């Protein structure tokens, strides 16, 4: 009986001693050090203030602008580190919310990105993340979706489900939300039920199909087979789920031959200056896109349309419809380049209506022209196109 309470006493003493020492250090670093030549001492002084504050969870920073200034400098220099998050959370530095959001957006799928998202939610700033998922720049929106997904709580799930059902965001963002949902059992359950109800918007069929076809739950795979059958490839075999395709390797030389012949890719893309310049140049595409994204670009071209290659439509006053990539639109008129590479200009007087199309100029259904083997070889070729300089 005596021994434990003695130990307890010792522990209490120790804890208090730590706080007292820490407080003394804080006084020293806060006043003495700053009185010394600040130029040479700044980072050391800032660091010791930060380290000391970490040991004083109840310390009130209010009325200590000298410490706040040091802490601020320390945090700016150490953004995204463990210490940074410890301090920001401990002192509930909500005024750093925009900085946290920037960390989420610039580092999706990393530990700092996840911690930043979690901190925002702790600060009741979930709205900042949700707002960003509705941003027109899909790179930002998708990064925000990944940040929210890393929090993975019930509110996030509910927001994702509601947003998918509304369906007003760009396809790329909606696909990212569906992918994030499928990581959680309830989320996958929702997707399966949605598909079974027949209400899944067709533009999400490719992504959601891939998710459910590679589900671990047999009932979900069955729903996918029934409602979202795999498209048939040229050999008559169904297209394997994306996960399987990504895991297989092919013959890049055969893929190159296909690119310039049967697959007709060179009708719109250049590799090493060969081919037409309608879509983006693919000479170094293997450095830019992962195999998974290469497959999606080919099999679901409208899911993520590259910037500057959006498909547009002009309807002329005499009823002609022209589609193509927008080359220019200014006071003199509008110029499009169509799928054959033909450039057409229209004066404003000729144009009845002009709009951006949600569908890529790149044709879908390419899998119908190729066997599974050929598709794998083609992607192996594209993946091999790396920046060699
Ligand atoms: C009718 C023209 C056309 C054909 C044919 C075509 N593409 Fe495309 N492709 C485009 C356009 C336009 C884009 C850019 C818009 C987009 O991302 O949808 C594009 C985008 C891509 C991208 C994404 C590039 C990036 O930088 O993100 C890849 C990869 C690609 N195509 C591969 C292929 C392959 C492989 C084939 C042959 C099987 C092919 N394309 C056939 C027009 C075409």
**DSSP string covering 347-376, please?**
-GGGEEEEEE-SS-SS-S-GGGTS-HHHHH
- Give the rounded percent of residues in the chain with a pLDDT score beyond 70: 89
Distance CA 299, CA 127 (A): 34
DSSP at 29: I
pLDDT, residue 185, reads 92
CA atoms of 111 and 332, how far apart (whole Å): 51
User: What average pLDDT is seen over the chain?
Assistant: 88
Q: Which residue has the tokens 């590479």?
A: 341
Cα(373)–Cα(364) distance, rounded to whole angstroms? 18
Model-wide pTM > 0.75: yes
Domains of the chain: 242-304+364-383 (1.10.760.10), 311-356 (2.30.30.100)
Which residues 6+ apart lie within 8 Å of 297 measured at CB? Answer: 289, 304, 362
Nearest CA to ligand 1 atom 25: 306
Rounded distance between C-alpha atoms, residue 71 and residue 74, angstroms: 5
Determine the pLDDT at residue 7. 53
Quick: pLDDT tens for 115-154: 999 999 999 999 999 999 999 999 999 999 999 999 989 9
Where does ligand 1 bind, in terms of residues with CB under 6 Å? 263-265, 267-269, 278-280, 285, 294, 297-298, 301, 305-306, 309, 325, 339, 360-363, 366, 378, 382
CA-nearest residue for atom 41, ligand 1, is 265
pLDDT range class, residue 17, cuts 50, 70, 90: low
Whole-Å CA distances, 128 to 85, 135, 167, 216, 293: 18, 11, 20, 34, 28
Cα(381) to centroid of ligand 1, in Å? Answer: 14
CA of 257 to the centre of ligand 1 (A): 17
Does the pLDDT value for residue 225 go beyond 90? yes
Q: Which tens digit of pLDDT belongs to each residue from 333-342?
A: 999 999 999 9
Chain segment 55-83, per-residue pLDDT in tens:
988 888 888 888 999 899 999 989 999 99
pLDDT at 305 over 90: no
Residues near 379 by beta carbon (within 8 Å), at least 6 away in sequence: 245, 250, 255, 291, 294, 295, 298
Instruction: Determine the average pLDDT of the residues in 221-229.
Output: 95
Percentage of the residues of the chain whose pLDDT score is greater than 90 = 74
């Amino acid at each position: 009986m005596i021994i434990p309470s003695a130990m307890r006493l010792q522990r209490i003493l120790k804890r208090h001693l730590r706080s007292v020492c820490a407080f003394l250090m804080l006084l020293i670093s806060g006043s003495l050090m700053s009185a010394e030549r600040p130029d040479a001492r700044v980072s050391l002084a800032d660091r010791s203030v930060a380290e000391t504050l970490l040991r004083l969870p109840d310390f009130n920073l209010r009325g200590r602008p000298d410490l706040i200034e040091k802490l601020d400098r320390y945090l700016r220099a150490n953004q995204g580190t463990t210490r940074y998050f410890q301090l920001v959370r401990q002192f509930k530095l909500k005024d750093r919310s925009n900085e946290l959001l920037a960390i989420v957006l610039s580092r999706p799928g990393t530990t700092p990105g996840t911690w930043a998202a979690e901190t925002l939610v702790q600060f009741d700033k979930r709205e900042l993340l949700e707002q960003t998922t509705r941003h027109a720049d899909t790179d930002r929106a998708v990064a925000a979706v990944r940040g929210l997904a890393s929090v993975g709580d019930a509110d996030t799930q509910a927001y994702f489900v509601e947003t998918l059902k509304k369906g007003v965001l760009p396809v790329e963002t909606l696909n990212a939300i569906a992918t994030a949902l499928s990581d959680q059992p309830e989320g996958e359950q929702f997707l399966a039920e949605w598909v079974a109800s027949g209400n899944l918007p067709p533009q999400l069929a490719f992504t959601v199909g891939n998710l459910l076809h590679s589900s671990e739950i047999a009932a979900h795979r069955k729903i996918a087979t029934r409602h979202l059958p795999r498209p048939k490839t040229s050999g008559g075999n169904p297209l394997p789920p994306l996960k399987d395709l990504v895991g297989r390797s092919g013959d890049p030389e055969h893929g190159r031959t296909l690119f310039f012949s049967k697959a007709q890719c060179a009708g719109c893309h250049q590799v090493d200056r060969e081919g037409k310049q309608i879509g983006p140049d693919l000479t170094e595409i293997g450095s830019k896109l992962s195999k998974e994204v290469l497959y999606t670009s080919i099999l679901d071209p409208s899911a993520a349309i590259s910037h500057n290659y959006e498909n547009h439509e002009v309807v002329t006053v005499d009823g002609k419809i022209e589609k193509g990539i927008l080359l220019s639109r200014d006071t003199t008129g509008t110029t499009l380049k169509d799928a054959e590479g033909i450039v057409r200009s229209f004066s404003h007087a000729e144009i009845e209506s002009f709009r951006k199309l949600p569908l890529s100029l790149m044709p879908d259904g390419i899998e119908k022209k190729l066997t599974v083997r050929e598709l794998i070889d083609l992607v192996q070729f594209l993946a091999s196109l790396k920046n060699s300089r």
